Amino acid sequence: MHYPRALAIFAKWPIAGQAKTRLVPVLGSAGARDLARSFLLDAVELARRVEGADVVVFYTPRDQRRAFQELVGSSVALVAQNGDNLGERMSNALSHLSTRGYEFSALMGTDLPTLPLNRLVSALGKSRSVVLGPSLDGGYYLIGVRTLHRHLFEGIEWSTSRVLGQTLDRITALGLDVECLEPWYDVDTPDDLNLLVSHLGLLIASGKPDLPRYTVNVLQRLGRLR
- The fold for domain 5-221 equals Spore Coat Polysaccharide Biosynthesis Protein SpsA; Chain A (3.90.550)
pLDDT of residue 127: 87
Distances (CA, A) of 197 to 79, 202, 211, 212: 32, 9, 12, 12
Question: Domain limits of the chain?
Answer: 5-221
pLDDT in tens, the chain (226 residues): 355 899 999 999 999 999 999 999 999 999 999 999 999 999 999 999 999 999 999 999 999 999 999 999 988 999 999 999 999 999 999 999 999 999 999 999 999 999 999 999 999 998 899 999 999 999 999 999 999 999 999 999 999 999 999 999 999 999 999 999 999 999 999 999 999 999 999 999 999 989 999 999 999 999 999 8
Report pLDDT for 4: 85
- Residue 5 is given by DSSP the state E
Helix (H, G, I), strand (E, B) or coil at 164: helix
pTM: 0.96
Q: So what's the pLDDT on residue 75?
A: 85
Which residues on adjacent β-strands are paired with residue 7? 55, 106
Residue 10 vs residues 13, 143, 169, 201: alpha-carbon distances, Å? 10, 11, 24, 27
